[in-house]
Structure 1
Amino acid sequence: MEIVTVSLLALGVLVLMLSFGVPLPFCFGGALMAMYYLGDAAMEGTMVWGYSQLANPVLLCIPLFVFAGTIMSESGIAASLLNFVNVFVGRIRGGLGVVASVSCAIIGAISGSGLTGVAATGPLLIPEMAEKGYPRGYATALVANSSVLGLLIPPSVTMIIYGWVTDTSILACFLATLGPGLFITFLFSVVNLVMARKFPLKLDPPSTKQEILKEGISCTSRAIPALIMPLIILGGIYGGIMTPTEAAAVAVIYAIPVGFLVYKGLSWETFLKAAKSSATAVGAIMVMIIFSLMLSQIFVMEDVPQALVEGIFTITDNKVLLLILINFLLFFVGMIVNDITAIILIAPLLLPLMEAIGVSPIQFAAIMGVNTAMGGVTPPYASILYLGIRIGKVEFSEVIKPAMILIVCGYMPVVFLTSLWPDLSLFFPRLFGY
């Protein structure tokens, strides 16, 4: 049987199992079995190769960042950051929505995970926004969509995976998604300020300059230990002092005493709960990585990327049309699988095509990052949106309309700008010599 036919059947098995709600690792296992029995894939060698890839030290930063983010959520570090941002914009009409977007961007710079952003900010912000007059469904949609910024504002777990599977500088990948992430934060803030005009909001009473200054000094001094975390992580990585793995370890080492002694939100019970939660999440991620990595490697060994490139060039060789088609493909994949799976599966397949049309691996990192981030809040997969719904205690019907408004007005413009305007993603990498 031709390899293209076998590959399509394997992908069909993958999509079918996903549609029936089979756990992700087993979905990829089913696709692997299809490749093995219908094709001539060397499964034993691929398994040995996949296991050896998991021993890569680069992957060590994933559990460390996840653990640091979980500690941050449990310890009160996230709450202090929210209060810090709220002091400056909380009295503006719609200001609390801006607090949600900016806070999630800051928390994303610490944890590198969208799910952590929802877990850390949702229980604090959603009830507060509802009390101030925001519809609860809108508040949930805004927090969930803004939490996806954790996948774009560095350090990002998805960019670590992308850099690893494509052999691209991880620091360059971090910088590539920074511009799109900041632009999305700005667009969310603008959309929120426009939509807030029709909500019956309860604004904080006006305060004198002396009261605002006093409150600002108090919240800033309390937030300083929390603000040091992103400074340590980003300053260490971009300053060339630490690798991403070392920065993640330092973040954990710093977060533990701050959580216990400064904010006092951590106890032995909550610390062990955070450790257990992180271990469970990381275990699921690693099992999923090895299966999806093996499937991706078989595709590469069977020259599927080259066949894909040739097949697409028979349709059109226009760069703009190709980029639009690729964005639709990435968006569709992001809607049915999570961000890490999408990157491991798709990046090695499409990278040869992107290079053939003149798109650098660094710009492609940003294109994949923005698309998979948007997929994380777009049904049917939408894991981050569903977590937000559970935390916000609302119905799906209340959330979907405002969520789609934010996606259309916030994400989609940046998706196409990232593809068609290279400077948006390449400005910061070039600034650092990439």
Structure 2
Amino acid sequence: MNATAAPEKRRWTAPYAEAAIDAVVRVPGSKSMTARALVLAALASGPSVIRRPLIARDTLLMVEGLRALGVGVDTGDDDRWTVEPGALKGGTAVDCGLAGTVMRFLPPVAALADGPVAFDGDPHARERPNDGVIKALRDLGVEVEDGGRLALPFTVEAAGAVKGGELAVDASKTSQLVSALLMAAPRFEQGLDLRHVGDRPVPSRPYLDMVVQMLRQAGAEVDDTEPDRWRVAPGELQGREWVIEPDLQNAAPFLLAAVATGGRVTVEGWPVETAQAGDRIRDVITRLGSRVEWSRGGLTVAGSPSLIPTELDLADASELTPALAALFGVDGGPFTIRGVAHIRGHETDRVSALVTELRKLGADVDEFEDGLRVNRGGRAPGTWATYADHRMAHAGAVAGLVVPGLVLDDVACVSKTWPDFAEAWERAVHGDRPEGNGA
């Protein structure tokens, strides 16, 4: 099977936890770090090595997109990818699949190519907003042909260079817009003086900390001392070795499994210091009344299934919303998640999807423009729809721990960030220990 193709749907009965879970889990590399490392390596002046990369549909789509632009990426060794930058070429096409990182990170890179670059993706991807990137490129003087859609499919009519300079954007829908522009900025003739001018703050701020940190590690000069302003000087990015951390967003459902069942789950290799937004889960779990400790070669959660009702603002860690909402939806209440209006534009409208699926379980749920509140949980068996969204599949797995026989209509969508998620989940629930490198 082509690892970058949309996977065939697969129904899956989520494992029911008949006892408290006791598991040690090894999760694959961070999608966010892998994607950024690939882009920075492609724009560098020399070769780079990426150690322990995430091998999943999103990152392989990024690899193929960079190859289409003339970048050499050797993925022959699963634990060590090498990137050989080259002159960026046009007259090519990029398949974005359903990856927001590809549809947003690669157009500014493509603008540096020597000819047109066409972008398209899965049907769901055509519904994802991309007006920010398209408008930003036009404001930088790059012609983009999109038929008036401000979304996929579109073509970047690259002319070999981007002048850069001052640019104002509204990044209130996604922080990926800022990340995309900052990574390409050192290659702009005048660098970039980027301002966010939206009425709402940029969501998921930890991702911006990550991209600034990684740019500096690659030798870029970045000034982010002023709120909502990033100044990147023109200059060369250096090839280097990137070591990818475990993906803490993918790890979160496993830690929540300990909470849901009153068990213990350890995620191996959890970084003591990290810019990943998923690290927020440690604070959330503590607020819910469970214990978090460093032990057993990683981060361990000793779960208390009696949750403390709480209200969470997850604006900076919105990827945690689906799994947490599922945990809340099968427990008591009230539990509230706010600050996540922007996830309506993710792989699906996650707020609406979560409310729909939780109500099918019998939960009493209120929907807000920027989140939801679970007033009372429900545990009615049935089918959980995943909407071609890996996070919705993770949520269904969490709910299935306490809802016997819950069937996910499609678990194959997890290939986006962890093709082996279902198998790893089954091992954790049934008490088996991981084998191999888990990547």
TM-score for the superposition, normalised by structure 1: 0.24
**Structure richer in strand, relative to its length:** 2
Q: Structure 2 length as normaliser, TM-score?
A: 0.24
Q: Between the two structures, name the one with larger relative contact order (CA 8 Å, sep ≥ 6).
A: 1
